[in-house]
Copies of this chain bind each other. A is one copy, B any other.
Amino acid sequence: MEAITIKDIAKALNLSTSTVSRALRGSYEINSETKKLVLEYAEKMNYHPNPIALSLKENRSRAIGVIVPEIANNFFSQAINGIEAVAYDRGYHVVIFQSHESYERELSNIQHLVGRKVDGLLISLSGETTDVSHLQEIQRRGVPLVVFDRISNEIEANKVIADNFQGAFEATEHLILSGRKRIAHITSPSLLYTTSQRLEGYKAALEKHGIAFDENLVRYCGFAPEEAQQVIFDVLDKQHPDAIFTASDRLALDSYAAVKAKDIDIPKQVAFIGFTNLQVAHLLDPPLSTVVQPAFEIGKTAAEILLETIENKQTAKAVKTVKIPTEVNLRTSSN
């Protein structure tokens, strides 16, 4: 039960393939009789043009690629939903890949997508990625590119990010205003752009309120599950913070687990705040205040810019950077 082709239709109707092709795509220069004939037969036989043949010919696919570190992460899965919301409306399929924080996987995924002629690419860099020549390469090949969230300064492309500085500033300030002085900042690997922006926001808030920055209160950790545990225990044990400001879903949860496991006394009121898109923050005890990154919005914006670039065949080297504001949700425990 192989798929039917234009050639089959042509043979069955005693026409040439070109006539059939033209009839199918509704060319003017064609007899309405034969046109109807072809259309009906195609319908009856459930004909669909072979997208691969089309891509080979036209060098495009009506699909855009998305590469994220992990989909098992609220931020990224919501961002993807934002991307799909606009892409699907405009007739593009969204092909999703994960790099699993691996540079090698990121490379392999890009090769696959570009090889299959995606019309554009949205990417959030893996934690391992420092060299971005693979992205520059696809830009040279003319593939429209938008980098979101995990961006890099090395690459000149359109970028969409949350306003990490502002979010971190507000989060830290709220902790200060609630009376904290020793605010631990448990965050992502230091080479990530988002990490440095958040650190800046954290520092700025401290400075504004005359609190000296203490680098011992800042801890970076990678993506290995064991690592966070250790790092968090260490800062809790040695630095005795009175509040914790975390940089991701996972770090927030790991911090909770650590505090509970060690039965450490951190005053409850507004003591925890995290960059997180967790749906459960208000159900935790104490409730977790959040700096919500507008993931859906970020994805949507990134996709809009990408599609704009694709459809207007703009230069792939545009360098707009859009910052989407974050939203702080303060939650105080009722005890």
Residues of A within 8 A of B (CB): 1-3, 48, 50-53, 55-56, 63, 70-72, 74, 77-78, 80-81, 84, 88, 93-98, 100, 105, 108-109, 111-112, 115-117, 140-142, 253, 256-257, 260, 278-280, 282-285
Cβ contacts under 8 Å, A97 to chain B? 93-96
Cβ contacts under 8 Å, A2 to chain B? 141
Q: For residue A74, give the distance in angstroms from its CB to the closest CB of chain B.
A: 7
Q: Supply 23 A–B pairs (Cβ within 8 Å), ascending by A.
A: A1-B140, A1-B142, A48-B111, A50-B115, A51-B115, A51-B116, A52-B115, A52-B116, A52-B117, A63-B112, A70-B77, A72-B74, A72-B77, A72-B78, A72-B80, A84-B98, A93-B97, A93-B108, A95-B97, A96-B98, A253-B279, A280-B280, A280-B284
Q: Are A141 and B3 in touch, CB under 8 angstroms?
A: yes
What CA separation (Å) do A50 and B59 show in the bound complex?
A: 11
Cβ contacts under 8 Å, A53 to chain B? 56
- For A85, give the chain B residue with the smallest CB separation: B100
Q: For residue A119, give the distance in angstroms from its CB to the closest CB of chain B.
A: 13
Q: Which of B52, B70, B112, B285 contacts A56 (CB 8 A)?
A: B52
What CA separation (Å) do A52 and B279 show in the bound complex?
A: 41
Q: For residue A252, give the distance in angstroms from its CB to the closest CB of chain B.
A: 10
Cβ contacts under 8 Å, A50 to chain B? 56, 115
Q: Give the number of copies in the complex.
A: 2
Cβ contacts under 8 Å, A1 to chain B? 140-142
- For A112, give the chain B residue with the smallest CB separation: B93
Q: Are B95 and A95 in touch, CB under 8 angstroms?
A: yes
What CA separation (Å) do A289 and B112 show in the bound complex?
A: 42
Cβ contacts under 8 Å, A112 to chain B? 51, 63, 93
Cβ contacts under 8 Å, A105 to chain B? 88
Q: Which of B56, B117, B283 contacts A257 (CB 8 A)?
A: B283
- For A296, give the chain B residue with the smallest CB separation: B72
Q: For residue A169, give the distance in angstroms from its CB to the closest CB of chain B.
A: 27
Q: Which of B117, B142, B256, B283 contacts A260 (CB 8 A)?
A: B283
Q: For residue A110, give the distance in angstroms from its CB to the closest CB of chain B.
A: 11
Q: Which 8 A-B pairs have the closest CB atoms?
A: A72-B77, A96-B96, A285-B285, A1-B140, A51-B115, A71-B71, A71-B77, A52-B56
- Knowing that A257-B282, A278-B280 are A-B contacts, what are 19 other residue pairs whose CB atoms are under 8 Å apart, sorted by A's residue number? A48-B111, A50-B56, A50-B115, A51-B115, A52-B52, A52-B115, A71-B71, A71-B77, A71-B80, A72-B77, A72-B78, A72-B80, A81-B98, A84-B100, A93-B97, A94-B97, A96-B96, A116-B116, A284-B285
